[in-house]
């Protein structure tokens, strides 16, 4: 159990700090590889959707049926699934519009401003709001990664990998406006990096608050909610972002590839 706890925390930390990778990529490259981003975002969505519907939802239902009986267990599974969707949708609704993390940015936007140009406080404000928005978004993702890894480390690795991929462009979305507004790479990287720390914070709170009550009923409700959260993120964030970066259906190829890789990994570890 202690070993699973360490693995769960580490996976959540790695997934969250991938926002910093996005920031570094923005500084080290001169152009955005849109094909690669479209493919990987689609891949991440494929992993999330497949593992949510085929593995996590089923595990949630098994736990709830075992705990509460067939009829109530099935109702609670569905309620938890749509409850997770509602939670992430409400978070989306109350995030300030100018800080929307779905706003795509490209590395080409990372042009160093001339010293004579007055820094734009609105851009800095937008970058700060984006960092805050991503931090709020990443909080339930941290709980999802942690609880999944705690129950099944193999499943946790898959989820952490998918979330890490989708955090990379979010890191770019923070860095671009902050750097353009200030010309300060360190400030841009720091805000991007810190926005990802909410995932391990989410994991820590899940450990402190949920762990004492982690029975079949609690586990089933958490897992069904996690499935809903990840499906919503895939449909609302990943696939639309992948399509906006898209070239020659790369996002759909990535989606199918993500599902296939997830299906194969689940078959291999049966």
pLDDT in tens, 111-148: 544 443 435 576 677 677 777 777 777 788 788 888 88
Residues at the binding site for Zn(2+) are 141, 166, 170
- Write out the binding residues: 138, 141, 166-167, 170, 199
Per-residue confidence (pLDDT) for residue 160, from 0 to 100: 86
pLDDT tens, position by position, 169-211: 778 777 777 777 777 788 888 888 888 888 888 888 888 887 7
pLDDT for the residue numbered 262: 83
Question: Which positions make up the binding site for Fe(2+)?
Answer: 138, 141, 167, 170, 199
Name residues of the chain where pLDDT drops below 70.
1-2, 26-33, 95-120, 122-123, 126, 245-248, 269-270
What stretches of the chain show up as alpha helix (H) in DSSP? 2-16, 18-28, 34-50, 57-68, 70-94, 121-151, 153-182, 185-196, 198-205, 216-233, 239-245, 250-268
- Is residue 190 within 8 Å of 128, Cβ to Cβ? no
pLDDT number for residue 115: 42
Residues 6+ apart with CB under 8 A from 174: 19, 22, 23, 127, 130, 131, 134, 188, 191, 192, 195
* Longest Cα–Cα distance in the chain: 70
How many structural domains compose the chain?
1
pTM score, whole prediction: 0.71
Domain encompassing residue 112: 2-268
Closest CA to 244 of 41, 31, 1: 41
């Amino acid at each position: 159990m202690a070993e699973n706890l360490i693995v769960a925390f580490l996976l959540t930390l790695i997934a969250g700090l991938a926002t910093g990778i996005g920031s570094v990529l923005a500084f080290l490259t001169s152009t955005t590889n849109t094909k690669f981003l479209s493919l990987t975002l689609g891949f991440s969505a494929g992993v999330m959707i497949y593992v949510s519907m085929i593995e996590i939802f089923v595990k949630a239902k098994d736990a709830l049926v075992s705990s509460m009986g067939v009829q109530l267990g099935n109702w609670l599974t569905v309620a938890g699934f749509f409850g997770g969707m509602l939670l992430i949708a409400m978070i989306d609704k109350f995030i300030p519009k100018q800080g929307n993390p779905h706003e795509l940015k490209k590395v080409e936007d990372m042009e160093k401003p001339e010293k004579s140009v007055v820094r734009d406080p609105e851009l800095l404000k937008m970058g700060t709001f984006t960092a805050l928005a991503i931090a709020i978004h990443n909080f339930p993702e941290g709980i999802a990664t942690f609880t999944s890894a705690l129950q099944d480390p193999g499943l946790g690795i898959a989820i952490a990998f998918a979330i890490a991929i989708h955090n990379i462009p979010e890191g770019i979305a923070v860095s671009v406006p902050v750097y353009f507004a200030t010309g300060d790479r360190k400030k841009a990287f720091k805000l991007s990096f810190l926005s990802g720390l909410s995932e391990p914070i989410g994991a820590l709170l899940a450990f402190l608050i949920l762990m004492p009550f982690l029975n079949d009923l609690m586990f089933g409700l958490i897992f069904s909610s996690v499935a809903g959260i990840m499906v919503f993120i895939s449909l609302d964030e990943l696939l639309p972002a992948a399509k906006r970066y898209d070239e020659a259906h790369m996002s759909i190829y990535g989606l199918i590839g993500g599902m296939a890789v997830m299906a194969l990994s689940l078959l291999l570890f049966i």
